[in-house]
Amino acid sequence: MSRRTVALVTLGCARNEVDSEELAGRLAADGWDLVDDAADADVAVVNTCGFVESAKKDSVDALLEAAELKQSGRTQAVVAVGCMAERYGSELAGALPEADAVLGFDDYASVSERLRSILAGDGHTSHVPRDRRTLLPISPVSRAASARPVPGHGDLLPEGVAPASGPRVLRRRLGEGPIAPLKLASGCDRRCAFCAIPAFRGAYVSRRPEEVLAEARWLAEQGVREVVLVSENSSSYGKDLGDIRALETLLPQLTSVPGLDRVRVSYLQPAEVRPGLLDVMAGEGVAPYFDLSFQHASGPVLRRMRRFGDTERFLDLLGEARARVPLAGARSSFIVGFPGETEADVAELERFLVEARLDAMGVFGYSDEEGTEGATLPDKLPADVVEARHERVGRLVEELAAQRAEERVGELVDVLVERTEDGRPVGPAGHQAPDVDGVTALTAPAAPGSFVRARVVASVGVDLVAEPV
């Protein structure tokens, strides 16, 4: 019998990318052939995003596009996995009959068996959505003993199954670049009023340090030179392992992994950033980069969001980071139009943005997410007001980011070359996160995967041009 083929189509964030590579590792270990194009696969697995409406629409479009292949190509089945599949389960299956099955996170450990059953025509009964926070103990330190599956925490292959080389990591890379995400944890214990993620991702669960290190070594053997540590909240790492300072211990160990030249930390909660963590992030081998989840700068709005901080506290935090790493990059995301937001609140956010000198900023207009506290709040703003504020703040951050890039002309940067664009080597400098921030183009040839020390000679919007030194 010929071997079955499967293609994984990934939408959403870097955390989803890790989850797809866990699924790929499981499938490859069980005899499936992985292909890049869904048209060449017996089964197309779409790893969906369920964060905001635009992401949900993209996920549905990807499922419908894959379903069309069943009429004209090799594809026999289309399967939805990921956050949208977990969040809506049987509801999504009923609304989208074009998908042959909707699998939840609890199906990941037996994904090969599930796909073979679907291909055989046995189908699959989709799960009924539930709040995954209720599936683990309330006490973080009691969670390690739970057998509940957590996406991206496949960790080790079962006995008798091993990859061709390297440690027994349950992951199969779906790309070949020199940068890869590395999952620290899944889930979140915070209760931000606008966010539905904890309900379908579950309570916070850290991966054990030895598992993170084993996967980092494996990635380095695959040619990765920079790992990006991802989770819903990296600054909480270790709290369920009995060590809230576990990240301070882990980072120096990661930077010592042979072959890894840079470790980047993402998704930090300002309320949890400790002086000791800032000290370690200023160390050798850690990217000079602070990804801080501010969301707004007006104290009253942040309280309604069930968040910490205000303009002055956030500026103080940025000042502490820059005191340790003067040329560090900083990025954040912001929501405008939250219920009860006033013109004075928007003006306070704009004041913060001007003074903060962030390198990269994402701005989102608020919309209700079912199951969140925000959806129940009074004082909702009209849609046209939210859109106007979104456009207004969006124009400001575009201008500010371009100004910040221009300020970097003359600085020395370390660029990791990812690819060639328009004949020039291109990749992120230390202060630029891959895929989400700007990039730096070099004026002289350099091979993908190489680190190049260069001096910035020009800026083009948020992007930089640098001359090797």
Binding site for [4Fe-4S] cluster, residues? 13, 49, 83, 188, 192, 195
Contacts for 290 with CB less than 8 Å, ≥ 6 apart: 268, 281, 318, 321, 328, 329, 330, 331
Q: Rounded to an integer, what distance in angstroms lies between the CA atom of residue 191 and that of residue 373?
A: 9
Both tokens assigned to 95: 């609304």
Q: Rounded to an integer, what distance in angstroms lies between the CA atom of residue 402 and that of residue 111?
A: 45
In the block, which residue shows the tokens 């963590």? 277
What are the Cα distances from residue 152, in Å, to 64, 69, 115, 207, 441? Answer: 26, 28, 19, 9, 33
Q: Hey, is 294 helix, strand or coil?
A: coil
If you count DSSP H runs as helices and E runs as strands, how many of each does the chain have, helices first?
13, 19
In the block, which residue shows the tokens 């913060």? 352
Say which amino acid occupies 134.
Answer: T
Q: Are 432 and 329 in contact (CB under 8 A)?
A: yes
In the block, which residue shows the tokens 């990296």? 234
Secondary structure of 407-441 in HEC code, one letter for each residue: HCCCCEEEEECCEEECCEEEECCCCCCCCCCCCEE
Chain length of the chain: 469
Both tokens assigned to 3: 């071997």
Q: Rounded to an integer, what distance in angstroms lies between the CA atom of residue 235 and that of residue 389?
A: 30
- Provide the annotated binding site: 13, 49, 83, 188, 192, 195
Torsion of CA 400, 402, 404, 406, to 10 degrees: -140
Both tokens assigned to 451: 């680190």
Q: Are 332 and 269 in contact (CB under 8 A)?
A: no
